[in-house]
Amino acid sequence: MIKKTMMATVSILGMALGAAAVAGPVTDADLLNDAKTPTSVLTNGIGLQGHRFSPLKEINTSNVKNLVPAWSLSFGGEKQRGQEAQALVHDGVVYVTASYSRIFAADARTGDKIWEYDARLPEGIMPCCDVINRGAAIYGDKVFFGTLDAQIVALDAKTGKVVWHKAVDDFKAGYSISSAPIVVPTKANGALLITGLAGGEFGVVGRVEAYNVDNGELVWSRPVLEGLAGSYRGKESSVTGKVNETWAGDEFKTGGGATWLGGTYDPELKLLYFGTGNPAPWNSWTRPGDNRWTASRIAINPENGELVWGFQTTPHDGWDYDGVNEFIPFDLVKDGKTVKAGGTADRNGFFYVLDRTNGKFISAMPFVSKITWAKGIDATGRPIYNDEFRPGDPAKSEDGKKGKEVFAVPSFLGGKNQMPVAYSDQTKLFYVPSNEWGMDIHNEPVVFKKGAAFLGAGFNIKPIFDDHIGSLKAIDPVAQKVIWEYKNKAPLWGGVLATAGGLVFTGTPEGYLKAFDAKNGKELWKFNVGTGIVAPPIAWEQDGEEMIGIAAGWGGAVPLWGGEVAKSFKGIDQGGSYWVFKLAPRSAAK
């Protein structure tokens, strides 16, 4: 571990605000019941299982047209860029992270800032996809979040002052933290703060780690690549898989698999679910084999970090189809039988349903159009490759510098990327924000160098339809079909919220927060916040009123990596703010 003194600025504003009830201690029971407690949002995913479903129904299909702004909080300064965070709410306080590794606490009633913490990032950070942060965790009297220089920070929830901080790894090697951590109760070690790491484009090896919430001590670490040993309480534990079973030579030691999007947890099975990123480098000709467990979903025992099962969605990935997308536990009822299942919309363009007890394949369906890299998924869950659409080996080209270029669908930004899906406990549908695009991609020679990009590929993203790129789809996991679709001109990069009011909320790069009828996809309401939305919404009850909250601020991977797509939407204004909406008073709504 590296040690570094973290400097930060904390401004304590409005501490005398009588309207703000400062957060009290969050317990194990609070976390486990988060999905059923509408007066708070304590977890990334509105429940440890990540359904992003609110039981609130004051705002519904009949009255959502009367939704109006309640307040807006500016993230201030020149630090705009992409705002991808989901907020937390507890005891009248909203906690939301922002670009450049910042976090704000605001009065949930008025939006008045209570405190702000700014991690002063060092020179030389190497985030892949903008200076974003996707959210915090809360437990006891502390809030926790990760930073772009690969630190975890624990703050006093009342004051925003640092309680402890921990350097997880060396940011100069390409490591960073962009995802929201998750707190999971365990018997052996109490509540554990669990996080993954970003940096797959630099060849860093993905792992999942658990820390003591009180002092930041490392409890366990699980590398996701075969051949690497984990640790438990300071001692080496088991090796992940078998050495060289699906990797050749020492390729696994710089093999990627970054765990950059965070995890979900099933309290019933007591299993932690994470996704893993692309193998490194992108040039697949340099690393023969399936390259487990990159581009996979894995289940981990949170008590000790032992790997329970793995399922690889894109073995021997050659297109940067990270498998990090969230795995959502749900009960699949089919033919009178209930299966403990999990659903996940993969970057490779297929929607999978797995048995969440053992990772066994149940079904898969394409959820985007014109997929080229695979002809389908076989009965075991393995892709049926279309070899014509794997980028060619540069070693076999005339000049040895550029392999055969192909047009692959979806693009490397995926059928779905960081923007989280919602699963409605009411309609039993998954709501998937997706994109219809492809890419010209070719391979190039590449050599690993610590702290340098480790790609071995060139690419250019292109739309495949004239009228839209973004597509919000309602997917029936039983019938394996799309029930309805909303098409959006620009790519969709924000997450989704479903509510018991029969609504689905999501944002667009054009700046609109929109509400749809969850059953048929009819657009019922929209409001423009003045900048693109790339974050997931939440709902909570405040003083008897239902509130809808969303971070706003254009950025993320699309404007950085989007090629022709990015050029099409280069005029979108940046911003940095948090918006909250509620129903207008009845007299004003008439």
Unique residue bearing structure tokens 């999971």: 184
Q: What angle (nearest 5°) sits at the alpha carbon of residue 150, between those of residues 284 and 538?
A: 95
Which among 134, 173, 129 is positioned nearest to 1, based on CA atoms?
Answer: 173
CA 11 distance to own-chain centroid: 29
Residue whose structure tokens are 């949002």:
41
C-alpha–C-alpha distance, residues 483 and 212, integer Å: 44
C-alpha count within 13 angstroms, C-beta hemisphere, residue 64:
25
Measure the CA–CA gap between 211 and 195, rounded to whole angstroms: 8
Cα 63 versus chain centre, distance: 31
Which helix (H) or strand (E) element contains residue 28? helix 28-32
- Listed in sequence order, the residues at least 6 apart from 41 whose beta carbon sits closer than 8 Å to its beta carbon are 34, 87, 88, 89, 90, 538, 539, 540
- Name the percent of the chain in helix, strand, coil, to the closest 5: 5, 40, 55
The SS3 call for residue 375 is: strand
Picking from 320, 243, 326, 225, the residue whose alpha carbon sits closest to that of residue 282 is 320
Structure tokens at 230: 């984990």
| Cα(459)–Cα(437) distance, integer angstroms | 13
Dihedral (Cα; 448, 451, 457, 463), 10-degree rounding: 160
> Which residues, 6+ apart, have CB-to-CB distance to 138 below 8 Å?
23, 26, 42, 88, 90, 95, 144, 157, 183
Choice among 107, 130, 320, 346 that is catalytic: 320
Query: Comparing C-alpha atoms, which of 485, 450, 487, 446 is closest to residue 470?
Result: 487
Let me know: does 133 contact 139? Beta carbons within 8 Å: no
Sign of the CA dihedral running 353, 208, 190, 216: negative
CA-based nearest residue to 289, from 323, 249, 254: 249
Helices and strands of the chain, counted as H and E runs: 4, 41
Is position 387 annotated as part of the catalytic site? no
Instruction: Write out the catalytic residue numbers.
Output: 320
